[in-house]
């Protein structure tokens, strides 16, 4: 008889990339979730470094089942530049499921808070379903949904559009395109950026959007000092707010009809 399969555990994460030493983990994650994470010995993650930082925080609340050095952390395959998938890309993704297929529970952790939402880990979840591996989501923060809820923008219709082009002209064109779509459908558009470019994206949005468009920015949600500010573009232009370059932010816009 073959050994029973493990499960794919969708482990929520904090929203600070592990850089805020003052964060109390129990203020962000339920105790039951922390204890379940402490028992996991195999992980799939976007970033091994920030996952180790999370596990150190977990260990301070609920001791890990194994020393941190013995915990196996496999990083998700990186996207191939130029958009052409490598020949072994699918093999690499499927290899991540090996611990679950061998009977170990496998944790999936994301930089976005909740795995597989605005997160490349969705592919691993799909592969788990194909392989008959049970998928178990755990309660925790999702950066997008927290930002949307706090924005005051349309929470009945929204879309996540990810990152904008780095090239300034292409980025401005994409912003105007999203603003037009938003105004026509009255649909909130959610965007993210690498933290060190937070302020650059804010400036690009203010330069390209119409004065009456509503813009909401959420920074460090669930963290001490985290905040959300929503206002028209015209009002934002009168603000002296500068965004941090180490803490993730979520941007939301709603075009005026």
More confident position, 27 or 73: 73
Average pLDDT over all residues of the chain: 91
Residue 181's contacts (CB-CB under 8 Å, 6 or more residues apart) are 187, 189, 255
pTM of the model: 0.84
Q: What is the pLDDT of residues 161-173, one digit of tens each?
A: 999 999 999 999 9
Residue 2: inside a domain: no
Residue 1: inside a domain: no
Backbone region of residue 82 per phi and psi (left: phi > 0; alpha: psi in -120 to 50; beta: other values): left
Confidence check: pLDDT of 119 > 90: no
Residues 58 and 39 in one domain: yes
Tally of structural domains, the chain: 2
Residues 13 and 127 in one domain: yes
Last residue of a domain, one of 137, 171, 197: 137
Residue 96: inside a domain: yes
Here the CATH number for the domain that contains residue 17 is 3.40.1010.10
CA dihedral 136, 120, 171, 241 (to 10 degrees): 50
Q: What is the pLDDT of residues 19-52, one digit of tens each?
A: 677 788 898 899 999 999 999 999 999 899 989 9
Confidence check: pLDDT of 203 > 90: yes
Here the CATH number for the domain that contains residue 181 is 3.30.950.10
Residues 200 and 228 in one domain: yes
> Considering only CA atoms, which of 97, 215, 70, 204 is closest in space to residue 153?
215
Residues 89 and 23 in one domain: yes
Last residue of a domain, one of 102, 137, 172: 137
Among 60-69, 73-82, 120-129, which stretch is predicted with the lowest mean pLDDT?
A: 73-82
Residues 111 and 219 in one domain: no
Among 80-89, 109-118, 172-181, 218-227, which stretch is predicted with the lowest mean pLDDT?
A: 80-89
Q: How far apart are CA 214 and CA 236, in angstroms?
A: 9
Tell me the average pLDDT across 206-223: 94
Q: Which domain holds residue 149?
A: 143-254
Tell me the average pLDDT across 163-189: 97
Residue 195: inside a domain: yes
Q: How far apart are CA 172 and CA 45, in angstroms?
A: 32
Residues 148 and 250 in one domain: yes
Residues 203 and 119 in one domain: no
Q: How far apart are CA 94 and CA 124, in angstroms?
A: 8
Can you give the pLDDT at residue 1? 46
Residues 118 and 149 in one domain: no
Can you give 200-244 as a three-state secondary structure string? HHHHHHHHHCCCCCEEEEEECCCCCCCEEEEEEHHHHHCCCCCCC
Residues 247 and 152 in one domain: yes
> Considering only CA atoms, which of 63, 69, 88, 67 is closest in space to residue 77?
88
């Amino acid at each position: 008889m073959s050994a029973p399969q493990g499960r794919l555990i969708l482990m929520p994460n904090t929203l600070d990339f592990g850089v805020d030493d003052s964060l109390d983990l129990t203020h962000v994650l339920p105790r039951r979730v922390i204890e379940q994470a402490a028992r996991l010995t195999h992980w799939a993650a976007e970033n091994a470094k920030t996952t180790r930082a999370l596990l150190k925080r977990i260990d301070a609340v609920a001791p890990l089942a194994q020393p941190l050095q013995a915990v196996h952390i496999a990083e998700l395959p990186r996207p191939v530049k130029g958009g052409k998938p490598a020949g072994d890309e699918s093999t690499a993704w499927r290899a991540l499921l090996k611990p679950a297929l061998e009977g170990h529970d496998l944790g999936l952790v994301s930089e976005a808070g909740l795995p597989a939402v605005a997160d490349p880990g969705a592919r691993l979840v799909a592969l788990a379903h194909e392989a008959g591996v049970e998928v178990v989501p755990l309660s925790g923060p999702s950066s997008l949904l927290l930002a949307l809820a706090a924005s005051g923008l349309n929470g009945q219709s929204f879309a996540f559009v990810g990152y904008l082009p780095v090239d300034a002209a292409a980025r401005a064109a994409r912003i105007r395109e999203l603003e037009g779509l938003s105004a026509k459908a009255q649909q909130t558009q959610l965007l993210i950026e690498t933290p060190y470019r937070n302020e650059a994206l804010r400036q690009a949005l203010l330069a390209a959007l119409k004065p009456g468009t509503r813009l909401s920015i959420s920074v460090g949600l669930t963290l001490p000092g985290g905040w959300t500010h929503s206002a028209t573009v015209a009002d934002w232009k009168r603000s002296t707010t500068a965004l941090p370059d180490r803490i993730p932010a979520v941007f939301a816009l709603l075009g005026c009809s």
